[in-house]
Amino acid sequence: MTTHATIRAGIGGWVFDAWNESFYPAKMPKTKHLQYAGSQLRAIEVNGTYYGSQKPATFAKWAADVPDGFVFSLKASRYCTNRKVLAESEPSITKFLTQGITELGDRLGPILWQFMPTKKFKPDDFAAFLALLPEKQDGIALRHVVEARHESFCTPEFIELLAKHNVAAVCADHESYPMLADVTSDFVYARLQRGSDDIATCYPPDDIDLWAKRLKTYAGGGAPSDLPLIAAGRSVEKQPRDVFAFFITGGKVNAPAGAMALQQRV
């Protein structure tokens, strides 16, 4: 067993007008942007899959445009999570998973199931939802991560539910959403959302150093001692865990620089 697993730092998407000046080389055709992003970063979180389906050929092209070891995290369709009764979402989940995402092959990273900030935790319904998430699709293993953004999820019962199904909780560094830093799966997923366009590396260098230390602790099988846990007394097996960290929302202009700076530190 290795002493640590893979840490990948990335950004949300690869299409953003400001990046034509702050990230991509001058006069580079937009058709080359994904290839360039893939050469500089280790992962991208795709938001477009939240709003609509893609064709299998599209996923295959994305996979061909990035190097070995690069992964795409896909945000699951809003029709799966934006509903009153989550237990009734199986048709939408099936539609999302069968649209051709496995054309990504080994470039397929975690699937992010994001819930509205107003969505409250209902234990039985959420347990039913987690039971609908398959371990495989077309023979390819799936990794699932949940972003719960309502304070009602800050309960050990939610943490235990995730662990039962080997589903990760988004560790959100956000001004108002709760931080769920508990380890509940064989990987860890962080969304760093407090950046600023006024900072060249999105986050201040000292904060990037701090997050690099935290991510390395997670990768080594531990949990950062400076992050609060919802289920503090819970026993977690110490084992290497892959880690994904995305600079999202805040400081988007310099998010690529932040991801590259963080990647250098880990």
Q: Which two tokens stand for residue 144?
A: 């699932």
First to last CA, the chain: 19
Q: Which helix (H) or strand (E) holds 188?
A: strand 187-192
Structural contact between residues 45 and 17, judged by C-beta atoms closer than 8 angstroms:
no
pTM: 0.96
DSSP single-letter state for residue 178: P
Residues 78, 59: Cα–Cα separation, whole Å: 19
- pLDDT category of residue 4 using cuts at 50, 70 and 90: low
Position of tokens 């953004």?
A: 149
Cβ-contact 201, 129 below 8 angstroms? no
* Alpha-carbon distance values, 124 to 94, 127, 128, 147, 161 (Å): 21, 5, 6, 18, 10
**Cα 134 to Cα 94: distance, rounded to the nearest angstrom:** 9
Judge whether residue 2 has pLDDT over 80. Answer: no
By the 8 A CB rule, do 226 and 179 touch? no
Burial 72-94 (b: 16+ CB within 10 A, else e): bbbbbbbebbbbeebeebeebbe
Mean pLDDT, the chain, whole residue set: 96
What CATH number is given for 7-265 in this structure? 3.20.20.410
Residue 235: the pLDDT is 87
Q: Tell me the pLDDT tens digit for each residue of 34-88.
A: 999 999 999 999 999 999 999 999 999 999 999 999 999 999 999 999 999 999 9
Q: For residue range 157-216, what is the model confidence (pLDDT) as tens digits?
A: 999 999 999 999 999 999 999 999 999 999 999 999 999 999 999 999 999 999 999 999
Domain extents in the chain = 7-265
Whose tokens are 């805040």? That residue is: 250
Lookup result for tokens 């760093």: 192
* pLDDT single digits (tens) 136-150: 999 999 999 999 999
